[in-house]
A = this chain, B = another copy of it.
Amino acid sequence: MSNLATMHPSEVRQLIRNNELVKPTSGWASGYTQANLAILKKELAFEFLLFCQRNQKPCPLIDVTEPGSPIPQLSAPEADIRTDIPKYRVYRHGELVEEVTDIVKFWNDDMVAFLIGCSFTFEHPLMNNGIAIRHIEENCNVPMYKTNIPTVKAGRFEGPTVVSMRPVPEQAVVRAVQVTSRFPAVHGAPLHIGNPVSIGIQDINEPDFGDRVTIKEGEVPVFWACGVTPQAVAMHVKPELMITHAPGHMFITDLRDERFGVI
Contact = CB atoms under 8 A, between A and B. Distances in A.
A42 B46 CA distance: 9
Q: How many copies does the complex hold?
A: 2
Interface string A185-205: 100110000000000000000
Interface residues of A, number: 24
Contacts of A181: 262-263
A184 to B, nearest CB: 5
A49 interface: yes
B152 A74 contact: yes
A85 B152 CA distance: 25
Interface string A23-50: 0000000000000000000100110011
Contacts of A182: 262-263
Interface in A161-213: 178, 181-182, 184-185, 188-189
B263 A178 contact: yes
Given A184-B262, A189-B263, A262-B188, A50 B74 contact: no
Nearest to A188: B262
Contact of A49 (B46, B178, B189, B263): B46
A262 B189 contact: yes
Give 5 closest A-B pairs by Cβ, nearest first: A181-B263, A46-B46, A184-B262, A49-B49, A181-B262
6 contacts: A46-B46, A54-B74, A66-B154, A74-B152, A181-B263, A182-B263
